[in-house]
Amino acid sequence: MTRLSLPPASVRPDPFGHSPRAHPRPVPDSIPTPLFRQPGWVYARFGTIGWWILPAWRDRLLGPCGLRLDEWKAAGCLQTIKNGPNRAVYRIQLPGSAAYVKHYKVPTWREILRQWFRRGKGRNEARRALQLARLGITTITPIALGEQRRFGFLFENYLVSPEIPGTTPLDLVVEQLLPNLPEPRRSRLRHALAREVGRLTARLHAAGFLHQDFHPGNLLVRLDHNDQIRLAMIDTDALRHRRRLTRRHAQANLALLNHYFWSRSSRTDRLRFLSAYLDALRPAGLNPSHFARSIERATRAWAERLWTRWGRRCRSTNKYFYELSNKRNDAIASRRLPPEAVLRLLENPDAPFQLPSTPILKHSPSATVAQIVLPVDQVPTPVIYKRFPTKKRLDPWLALVRPSRAWRAWQAAQHLASRGVPTPANLVYIRTPYRPARGRLLRWLTGTEYLATIKAEPALSLDTVARHLLPSLDASTQRALRRRYTRALAQLLRFLHDRSLSHRDLKAANILVEGNPLADPPALTLIDLVGVELRHPLPRRRRLQNLARLAVSLAEACHPSRTDFLRFLRAYLPVRHPNQRLWKATWRRIARLAQAKRRQNLRRGRILS
């Protein structure tokens, strides 16, 4: 692999295009239009699909009927890496080597018309790969291109390239390889990765390229002798070239990459990446501090849009959820649950509660909770099944203008999962029409609703840990455990609020401790999500309400000391804040809100929990 380097400073143009006339941007060597009609390539046609292929690979890839996908599948040599509505990726293990086949599909006329104006994705990816190779960046090497044409229109197309040997996707390196390495090698590799990725990004931007799908899965890493890092880039169809790459373009592209590392790396590593990027690019008149802050803001804005889009997945049919209905009831279910199990629940959603063997965990006017077993991923799995009855005759009409309780919990679980906040996974949401409503015109009035989520096992509620486990321990273990849970609770709430989420019913009974309750750190999970609200930016009053509600609950459960509350507050608040006395004002405000909550429960005759 060629080592990354930039042109000399005397001939290198301004990287953000501030002086396009004085310093014209160098464009990679142009690729001739007949990309595969070059000496050394041969053409073969099988039905409606024509193939441009290197002669050395013709007999290995093509058979009497074209590409040997069926033969490889029957022989067990074919591995499906990805199979979506628009693209499928296969890995073929051939004698002595391996190759990847990208199958670009055209499910709608939109993709057909797009290829009419922009050429096929396989051809575009091959062109971009050759341009990257001319820049000295290791990437895929096209060896075959297949295109299906009818009446002048391009339909499905294929691109075949050999495997880049000895490489691993960067996301797997960060998540699986680095955590298992001993120190100081882990830190040394982490620092080197940040610098090398920064230089590679600078190389792309200096040539005017932006990667529209810039994430670590599209960067491959190879470790040579002495842990020397070599990088390669794939998925080159997402590359776009701009003659004048502005600072805003670079900032948006860096934010796209930074989104992955935002929650998986330290600020120091991200600063190390940016320093290597700016040292290699050497932009004129750029304030590094302002540029770094602008990238962080752009990353947060991009993350909010992405999280919100992921949070809507649970509303309709897609590759994660599907809709089912019968003559009476409607349902939205996770694809981890087979349709047969959902149809059985749709026939009689109350059937699990009527079985004598079903354990009832809670029964109140607002909800009934039971534990049942459903086939999740074809494996019988314990599931929490909750029924939300109609408490008042006005509730079905109010559901027309605001989400119902079950729908709020269903949507909230998806928002938490999209933002990485631990919570049990959604399985199925069932809606039944309001029974007193007659005729089809009023069938859209929501009646009783049902919600199923995976049961966290083994798990104890934080209330149980505080009331029963803590008193059974000796004094020194109690102190250590209190500090452990104080830190974990502060981090959970900080993470929740940083993700623009609040939980107005945040009490000890709605926080589960998964696994060993004595572990360090304890694994905390949020349940009973009816009170979860998504709002960006999250108001300060909502944050304080959550803290006050949790303080009231913990005061009743384990009587924490003022020192425990102070440790929690200092761990929750930002480490560096311009107002160093922020914690004092926050402390007093939480105390007033907690006292108001106690008076409210006393006035309404409710117990504190």
Residue 112 lies in a domain: yes
All residues at 6 or more sequence positions from 598 whose CB lies less than 8 Å from its CB, including other chains: 552, 608
User: What pLDDT is attached to residue 462?
Assistant: 94
pLDDT in tens, 600-609: 888 888 887 7
Out of 276, 296, 311, a domain closes at 311
Beta carbons of 508 and 472 less than 8 angstroms apart: no
- Distance in Å from the first CA to the final CA of the chain: 62
Answer yes or no: do 552 and 593 share one domain: yes
User: What pLDDT is attached to residue 393?
Assistant: 79
Beta carbons of 199 and 230 less than 8 angstroms apart: no
Beta carbons of 352 and 442 less than 8 angstroms apart: no
pLDDT, average across residues 563-568: 91
All residues at 6 or more sequence positions from 280 whose CB lies less than 8 Å from its CB, including other chains: 4, 6, 198, 199, 202, 203, 206
Tokens 């696994």, located at residue: 515
User: What pLDDT is attached to residue 579?
Assistant: 55
Q: What is the dihedral of CA 501, 502, 506, 510, to 10 degrees?
A: -30
- 446-454 and 62-63 strand pairing: unpaired
- Which has the closest alpha carbon to 484: 506, 462, 510? 462
- Check whether 480 has a pLDDT greater than 90: yes
Answer yes or no: do 295 and 325 share one domain: no
What is the tally of structural domains in the chain? 4
Residue at 289: amino acid letter: S
Q: What is the CA radius of gyration of the chain?
A: 29
Answer yes or no: do 478 and 503 share one domain: yes
- Check whether 55 has a pLDDT greater than 80: yes
pLDDT in tens, 289-303: 999 999 999 999 989
User: What pLDDT is attached to residue 407?
Assistant: 94
Q: What is the dihedral of CA 484, 486, 492, 497, to 10 degrees?
A: -160
Answer yes or no: do 64 and 141 share one domain: yes
Q: Is 232 helix (H, G, I), strand (E, B) or coil?
A: strand
Residue 9 lies in a domain: no
Residue 15 lies in a domain: no
User: What pLDDT is attached to residue 282?
Assistant: 84
Answer yes or no: do 156 and 134 share one domain: yes
Selected residue with higher pLDDT from 269 and 84: 269
Cα separation of 259 and 263, whole Å?
8
| Confidence label for 580 from pLDDT (cuts 50, 70 and 90) | low
Beta carbons of 525 and 424 less than 8 angstroms apart: yes
User: What pLDDT is attached to residue 443?
Assistant: 66
CATH number at residue 528: 1.10.510.10
pLDDT in tens, 533-542: 999 889 999 9
Selected residue with higher pLDDT from 87 and 32: 87
| Confidence label for 370 from pLDDT (cuts 50, 70 and 90) | very high
Out of 426, 454, 482, a domain closes at 454
User: What pLDDT is attached to residue 242?
Assistant: 87
Distance of CA 364 to CAs 136, 360, 368, 403, 449, Å? 68, 11, 6, 21, 15
Out of 311, 336, 371, a domain closes at 311
pLDDT in tens, 435-458: 765 555 566 788 899 999 999 989
Answer yes or no: do 436 and 479 share one domain: no
Residue 10 lies in a domain: no
Answer yes or no: do 82 and 108 share one domain: yes
Answer yes or no: do 336 and 422 share one domain: yes
Answer yes or no: do 519 and 430 share one domain: no
Residue numbers of the domain that contains 509: 459-604
